[in-house]
Amino acid sequence: MTLPIALVLGLLVGALALFATEALSVDIVTLLVLLVLVGSRVLTPAEAFAGFANEIIFMLAALFVLSAALQETGVMDRIGGALLRVSGRRPLPLLLALMGTVAGASAFMNNTTTTAVFVPPTLGLARQSRTSPSKLLLPLAFASILGGTLTLIGTSTNVAVSGFLERSGMRPLGLFEATPVGLAIVVVGIAYMALIGRRLLPDHPPEDPADEFGIREYLSEIIVLRGSNLIGRRVFQSELAEMGFRVVEVIRHARRFMPVATTTLEEGDLLLVQGVAANLMKVRATAGIEIMPELEHGDLELPAEDVRIAELLISPQSEVDGLTLAEANFRQRYDLVVLAIYRAGQPLRDKLGSIRLRMGDLLLVQGRSERIAALRRGSGFFVLGEIGPRVYASRKGVAVVGLFAAALVLGAAGVVSVAVALLAAAVGAVLLRSLSMEEAYNAIDWRLLVLIGGMTAFGSAMERTGAAAYLAQYLVSTLAPLGEMAVLAGFAVLTVLLTQPMSNAAAALVVLPVAMSAAKGMGLNPRTFAIAIMLSASVSFIAPLEPACILVYNPGRYRFMDFVKVGSLLTILLLAVVLLMLPVFWPLHPTAVAPAR
């Protein structure tokens, strides 16, 4: 093993460890790797940053903008709501309709966005059909991941692999090149959930009737102002009680106590209350009482039509995990006010500023619509929904759908490249004012773009130093006695395992150069191996670490083992589908390579 090979492999192990532990964000890890490669002269600066000039980066950015435009104009809400309403109340047809609809939408939208769009109507449908949310939400998340295998733009992993192929001197993936295998994956996945998976799904009823999406009882702080008609009123007979609030504690002159039947309210009392999110909006319009965070941050003066109140889910990647609101500098960092906090399964009875936030906590926040929209990508939060009506622009939504469809047709027909067609559609969506320029930039997941651009360059470093060939030779020497398919299966299983601690795109880009090097060394078709890696990264359902799964984790009241129980067999089945169908469409031997699609 040479020194450059040892350096690159050491960087690989270090990057994997940091990706797994999330000690640093993925974009920082990627940039650090590039800096080391340049500093050690393994790559020149031009080679290190060449991945960021690839058209794949612009294609992904355009997809993020178009997805945001479809969401902002209400297209996905309307389509999802209409299709879910006609599915009926029977469990099996309901499951089939939901998964089919979500998979179809996910073929052209980001998986996480698709899941986020469908969570609220799915929960509403669960209530109407008297079905436990846990029977529908996990299939929803799985369907969004399955649907990403249908097209080139279905998931960022596909786009990243296509870009790597092009940089390696090979033909990039066609828009629908993987669709035949993707359709088989979707059909097998939905059939499995309908026949086997749904019987393994947990039946987790909400803790209480108020513990459902949109009607959870949050903890908030309310202060009694001078002149309030609450002064002198008994707590349990006050206007707060009439609005459905439960006063769990009163803080008066630095003294804390639980209210009793005879407790009367005084000016300046700080009340810790539990109430439904929608009722908190009523407090804002009630003279004499105010939500405490609003009073502390009175500089947030917004016109009524621009005020939004939204529910945010804290993800594992969030920078506020483990911090209090003050330690996270939340108000200044995100330009949003936290009105209330909810934690499933645990009553909160402390001041909001003293509560240490955790993954899975829900924050009820208020702020400008564009600031809430900014959290939809790369912020460590998932926007579950907004409280109160949103105004959608129907004509603009139809226009955005038309632009998107035209881009797909032109790209598939080869009139222009897919990247150019999608970029033109994204620019058109902004010109139509379906979303502002600020919202367009906020919709782009910049961390993912840095990851893809940087890891593409890392793949080049593995090839240049011989590290890819070294690893490939080791894996081939171990599995070759078992046959060519055993080697291919080994890389597919390795990819699935790496998607547990890493993002799907990162896992694929790490394995890709090694797998292609192994294919070339054995005289096999490297494209077959590349597509095997790409699809394997999208059929891993063993753990709830995908953003789409995290989105449904708390609303469905799932446990970690629920995903293991339902997803393990599904992962094995889909891996078998991939390995069986790959040689049919992409023969293993170059002499039998199928013509370009």
Inter-residue contact 16 to 498 (CB < 8 Å): yes
Count of residues for the chain?
597
Side-chain-side CA neighbours of residue 291 (13 Å): 28
- Residue 143: its pLDDT value, please? 93
Number of other CB atoms surrounding residue 179 within 10 Å: 19
CA dihedral 235, 238, 244, 246 (to 10 degrees): -10
- Residue 528: its pLDDT value, please? 92
Inter-residue contact 553 to 360 (CB < 8 Å): yes
Q: At 483, which helix (H) or strand (E)? A: none
Q: What is the pLDDT of residues 538-578, one digit of tens each?
A: 888 887 667 677 667 767 778 878 888 899 899 999 999 99
Angle formed by the axes of helices 394-413 and 418-431, nearest 10°: 160
DSSP 319-361: TTTT--TTTTTHHHHHS-EEEEEE-TTS---S-GGGPPP-TT-
Inter-residue contact 365 to 310 (CB < 8 Å): yes
Distance between CA atoms of residues 28 and 18, nearest Å = 10
DSSP 279-306: HHHHHHTSTTEEEHHHHHTTT----GGG
SS3 234: strand
Distances 9 to 89, 156, 354, 470 between C-alpha atoms, Å: 54, 25, 44, 10
Q: At 275, which helix (H) or strand (E)? A: strand 270-276
The residue to which tokens 């309709």 are assigned: 97
Distance between CA atoms of residues 508 and 502, nearest Å = 10
Distances 394 to 85, 398, 402, 405 between C-alpha atoms, Å: 20, 6, 12, 17
Could you tell me what percent of the chain has a pLDDT over 70? 77
Strands 217-224 and 255-257: unpaired
- Residue 137: its pLDDT value, please? 87
Inter-residue contact 213 to 118 (CB < 8 Å): no
Could you tell me what percent of the chain has a pLDDT over 90? 11
Q: At 363, which helix (H) or strand (E)? A: strand 362-368
Q: What is the pLDDT of residues 200-253, one digit of tens each?
A: 988 876 544 334 444 456 677 888 888 787 888 888 777 777 666 778 788 888
Distance between CA atoms of residues 364 and 385, nearest Å = 10
Query: Which candidate, 344, 444, 436, places its Cα nearest to that of 384?
Result: 344
User: Of 167-181, 301-315, 354-368, which one has max mean pLDDT?
Assistant: 167-181
- Residue 581: its pLDDT value, please? 93
Level-2 CATH architecture, domain 217-387: 2-Layer Sandwich (3.30)
- Residue 559: its pLDDT value, please? 81
What residue type is 548 in one-letter code? A
- Residue 86: its pLDDT value, please? 62
Inter-residue contact 510 to 496 (CB < 8 Å): no
Distance between CA atoms of residues 491 and 193, nearest Å = 26
For residue 399, give both structure tokens: 């226009």
The residue to which tokens 């790209």 are assigned: 411
> How much is the average pLDDT of 27-49?
86
For residue 505, give both structure tokens: 């795109």
SS3 107: coil
SS3 213: coil
Residue 294 clears pLDDT 60, i.e. is over it: no
- Residue 205: its pLDDT value, please? 65
First to last CA, the chain: 40
Higher-pLDDT residue of 72 and 83 is: 72
Confidence of residue 579 (pLDDT cuts 50, 70, 90): very high
- Residue 527: its pLDDT value, please? 92
Distance between CA atoms of residues 537 and 164, nearest Å = 15
Distance between CA atoms of residues 202 and 220, nearest Å = 31
pTM of the model: 0.57
Higher-pLDDT residue of 81 and 410 is: 410
Q: At 572, which helix (H) or strand (E)? A: helix 560-585
> How much is the average pLDDT of 514-526?
86
Q: At 198, which helix (H) or strand (E)? A: helix 198-200
Where are the domains positioned within the chain?
59-208+392-443, 217-387
Q: Contacts for 580-587 with beta carbons within 8 Å, 24 or more apart?
A: 581/180, 581/181, 581/184, 582/181, 582/488, 582/528, 582/531, 582/532, 582/535, 583/485, 583/528, 585/180, 585/181, 586/525, 586/527, 586/528, 586/531, 587/525, 587/528
φ, ψ (nearest 5 deg) of residue 17: -65, -45
